[in-house]
Structure 1
Amino acid sequence: MGPESRFTLKKFPQVYKWSYILFTLSETFPLLCFQVFLYLGFVTNMGEIKISPDYNWFRSTVPLKKIIVDDDDSKVWSLYDAGPRNIRCPLIFLPPVSGTADVFFQQILALSGWGYRVIAVHVFGASLGGFLAQKFAEYTHKSPRVQSLILCNAFSDTSIFNQTWTANSFWLMPAFMLKKIVLGNFASGPVDTEMADGIDFMVDRLESLGQSELASRLTLNCQNSYVEPHKIRDIPVTIMDVFDQSALSTEAKEEMYKLYPNARRAHLKTGGNFPYLCRSAEVNLYVQIHLLQFHGTRYAAIDPSMVSAEELEVQKANLQASSEQEQQQQQQQS
């Protein structure tokens, strides 16, 4: 099977399919489903990404750091810090509700290898991470801490999920019910191989989250809150989204465009909810293009000796040519 056929091969994410079935049945047959789930944990392949050489190399070379952010050691931040330590204006990635720090391992490996320091002032936020990135920039607008934002499948108002009335009850729900809520936003139809692997990996990361972590993330995701864009209108923004199915509605995407009329737009033809996993090359290139505007300034996130602006311009031209070719093919097919 050649590389071209991998993108046309359709399959259902295995872990997602089994997890959703078990979480649904667990309300009626909790003991049986628990035993079956334990069995599947041993015999089911958790996806190509988790066993891939790139992911294993990432886990073996980039240490996971833990930072205590409370006096009683009850709150700990886990993060990966990669790239040149002399960079004082790094790039920070914030994961979605279902993700952990390592869901961005492909960006960390690629960008740090090119000379970027990835961990904060340039912020890449996906879904809930994008919303929190905007709120952080908003809260610190009088004493700016954020120099730019890259918002991937992000939203600006939590009311789009129509769950503000249940936000305060997430703390009372068991973990399996919270996971079922999150899984309900995952793509359930046939997808290409790379997207299926990405979903499987995210389900595996979801399994690693405890009840308190899930409850707090869902509360942040659903409690009544919105971004005040007039406080961050001077910050350079790139809005990254996909044309295929994702958890965000068309109305939510249009609202983001209205809030940031001067933002750069990075559209991906496909990628679903997790383009940074299944379309990592395109995402990495868009991140580089976004950060290009800071080259040669104190806010550069890259060691200037590592990657030249000319090289990035060539990559940008190639991406534009590829996009135009895809549009022509779509017009011919229609």
Structure 2
Amino acid sequence: MTFVSDLSQSQEYLSFRSSVPLRRIVVDNDNTKVWKIYDCGPKNIKYPLVCLPPVSGTADVFFKQSLALSAKGIRIISAEAPTYWSAYEWCEGFKKLLDYLEVDKIHLFGASLGGYLAQKFAEQTYYCPRVASLILCNAFTDTSVFNNHESAAIFWIMPALVLKRMVMGNFSTDKVDPHIVDAIDFMVERLESLPQADLASRLTLNCIKGYVEAHKLANLPVTIIDVFDEYALSNSVREELYKCYPHAKLANLKSGGNFPYLSRCGEVNLHLQIHLRQFDGTNISASDRSLINIKISG
């Protein structure tokens, strides 16, 4: 019997799925590589906020951000990648996706692995910038924090059940906070939906040796969203991220677990708006102020 979470049956999620179409886009020569995206908000915006999920996540894990921010006139795209086996390959595919969408530059919001890949994309394109700013949530800069470098080479042949157990080992279920419990349940449901190849490729990207050359991102506006309760990464990983971005704005949440964009969506959405507000009135704004004015005046 398939597990069904409370969040996926909520009116908010059902409204999101009924109003925002899932787009499937092929940008590589291999037609089996299909990007899945949800694109909300004004399509005339060429500098949207793009959200990248963690290992266990699908594009719809940012449904709370998509609904709330698009209502504020912000264009927000949630993107789920097909199977790529290296950060370089992932970045090349992502670049093709942006070209397909006719998007010039983006503001990137990445969670965990999504945060790492957001940094790698900014690094790989720094000579011809495609990233206007970064928001990193429970992110890391060096895959050495995971002790699975040797195993990474064989993830591609490991059974899906084994891979899912590896990921679920990082989900702490002893929380009394119902919002965190709901978030974990929703992410477990997303994890269960992932094919073996997709999960194996994500775990490979997460664990294969690599690090971010943060000095190449020194001029980027960065906001770091962190939680101070128990989550999958250690304090030393958080401190290393702070060292890499000494001028970053810090958005510290007292709690929220591994998935604060679900469990503390109000706080996360506020920090995203604060981050994006600095670009209002510029040529890299993620929002259409005229739509906001119409909503206010109406």
TM-score (norm 2): 0.88
* 2:188 is aligned with 1:203: yes
CA distance in 1, matches of 2:11, 2:226: 28
Q: Which is further off, 84-93 or 66-75?
A: 66-75
* 2:281 is aligned with 1:296: yes
Count of residues in Structure 1 that have an aligned counterpart in Structure 2? 267
> Which one of the candidate residues 29, 48, 65 is aligned to 1:90?
48
Match of 1:153 in 2: 138
> Which one of the candidate residues 69, 76, 83 is aligned to 1:111?
69
* Runs (5+) with no aligned partner, structure 1: 1-37, 312-334
Q: Quick one: which amino acid aligns to residue 124 of structure 2?
A: Y
| Superposed counterparts of 1:166-315, under 5 Å | 166-307=151-292
Displacement after TM superposition at 1:305 (Å) = 2.1
Displacement after TM superposition at 1:172 (Å) = 1.5
Structure (1 or 2) with the larger CA radius of gyration: 1
Q: Could you say what secondary structure the match of 1:294 adopts? A: coil
Question: 2:26–2:35: 8 Å Cα contact kept in structure 1?
Answer: yes
Displacement after TM superposition at 1:58 (Å) = 0.2
CA distance in 2, matches of 1:226, 1:189: 32
Displacement after TM superposition at 1:75 (Å) = 0.4
Cα RMSD after superposing both structures = 1.2
1:8-64 CA-to-partner distances (Å, cap 9, x unmatched) read xxxxxxxxxxxxxxxxxxxxxxxxxxxxxx3xx3xx6x2221110000000000000
CA distance in 2, matches of 1:173, 1:203: 19
CA distance in 2, matches of 1:191, 1:230: 40
Identity %: 60
CA distance in 2, matches of 1:138, 1:70: 21
CA distance in 1, matches of 2:202, 2:72: 32
Q: Quick one: which amino acid aligns to residue 25 of structure 2?
A: I
Displacement after TM superposition at 1:190 (Å) = 2.7
CA distance in 1, matches of 2:112, 2:30: 30
1:174-194 CA-to-partner distances (Å, cap 9, x unmatched) read 000000000011113133111
Displacement after TM superposition at 1:163 (Å) = 1.1
Displacement after TM superposition at 1:71 (Å) = 1.7
Match of 2:21 in 1: 63
Q: Quick one: which amino acid aligns to residue 196 of structure 1?
A: V
CA distance in 1, matches of 2:173, 2:69: 31
> Which one of the candidate residues 21, 37, 46 is aligned to 1:79?
37
Q: Quick one: which amino acid aligns to residue 226 of structure 2?
A: D
Match of 2:118 in 1: 133
Q: Could you say what secondary structure the match of 2:110 adopts? A: strand
CA distance in 2, matches of 1:49, 1:160: 31
CA distance in 1, matches of 2:196, 2:238: 30
1:85-139 CA-to-partner distances (Å, cap 9, x unmatched) read 1111100000000000000000000000110000151000000000000000000
Displacement after TM superposition at 1:164 (Å) = 1.1
Displacement after TM superposition at 1:278 (Å) = 0.8
Off by >6 Å, runs of 4+ in structure 1: none
Q: Quick one: which amino acid aligns to residue 95 of structure 1?
A: P
* 2:65 is aligned with 1:101: no
Question: 2:126–2:217: 8 Å Cα contact kept in structure 1?
Answer: yes
CA distance in 2, matches of 1:152, 1:164: 23
Q: Could you say what secondary structure the match of 1:196 adopts? A: helix
More helix by share: 1
1:152-199 CA-to-partner distances (Å, cap 9, x unmatched) read 000000000111121111011100000000001111313311110110
Displacement after TM superposition at 1:226 (Å) = 0.2
TM-score (norm 1): 0.78
